[in-house]
Amino acid sequence: MCGRMAVTMPPDAMAQLFAAAPDNVMPQLPNYNVCPTNDVPIVTGDGQGGRRLRAMRWGFIPRWYKKLNGGPLLINARAETLAEKPAFRDAARTRRGLVPATGFYEWTKAADEGRDPWYIERTDGGVLALAAVWQDWQAPEGEVLSTCAIVTTCANASMQAIHHRMPVILEPDAWALWLGEQGKGAATLMTAAPDDLLQWHRVDRAVNSNRASGSALIQPLASDAR
């Protein structure tokens, strides 16, 4: 599962890291509370052998939707069924991307029946390259909207303490294969990250609101705070 994330790296730094040409219009960053339907940065192929850094709506819209809310909000795509689901199978073959994130959030149920948020990041402090699929959706009125979903898989042993799913996280040596630059075989990349790749800490429940913002959202919660 991946239902909220933080994206703080400047677009020019993302473009350099992924060797991608940036579009002129990018999401406003930093954003410590990226929510479904927000725009996210995503690296894709540019159709000419290069890479493009662009903005897409987080929430994949199948071609047959007649309106934005014409069906379930598809923010995640399960790796196990990615190639079979009608919504995703074409994108799985030809429209794969990488979403650069600083971290993401998951929730556990608390003793008071509330939801405790946890912020999850790389142990080395680096960027998380989240596997994604994308789709250009055309509204009946003619407007074209680029949309994407994060690919998820079963959580690794350590992550299962927080949630049973996790995003597929790709290391630099896998980026070219996932983006379709090295032929076939991308399906082999859709596995859980090593147990020691991620670390996490509990954060304030303020992030439970999609209106919350600011770097304080990712700060560790003091042991006596609630």
Domain range list for the chain: 5-102+127-154+163-193
pLDDT, mean of residues 115-144:
95
CB 167 within 8 A of CB 104: yes
**pLDDT (0 to 100) of residue 198:** 97
Q: What are 51-109's pLDDT values in tens digits?
A: 999 999 999 999 999 998 899 999 999 999 999 999 999 999 999 999 999 999 999 99
- Coil, helix or strand for 119? strand
pLDDT, mean of residues 146-171:
97
Q: Reply yes or no on domain 5-102+127-154+163-193 having CATH 3.40.50.2000.
A: no
Distance CA 195, CA 158 (A): 6
**pLDDT (0 to 100) of residue 223:** 58
Taking Cα atoms as reference points, which of 77, 75, 8 lies closest to residue 41?
8
pLDDT, mean of residues 125-130:
98
Maximum separation of any 2 CA atoms in the chain, in Å? 55
Distance CA 48, CA 38 (A): 28
Q: What are 185-225's pLDDT values in tens digits?
A: 999 999 999 999 999 999 999 999 999 999 999 999 875 34
Please give the backbone phi and psi of residue 193, each rounded to the nearest 5 degrees, phi first: -70, 155
Task: Band the pLDDT of 47: cuts 50, 70, 90.
Answer: confident
Q: Which of 2, 121, 143, 181 is catalytic?
A: 2
**pLDDT (0 to 100) of residue 111:** 87
Q: Which of 80, 106, 121, 171 is catalytic?
A: 106
Taking Cα atoms as reference points, which of 205, 195, 197 lies closest to residue 161?
195
**pLDDT (0 to 100) of residue 113:** 83
For this structure, is 2 an active site residue? Answer: yes
Distance CA 225, CA 195 (A): 28
- Give me the percent of the chain exceeding a pLDDT of 90: 88
Q: Is the confidence at residue 115, as pLDDT, over 70?
A: yes
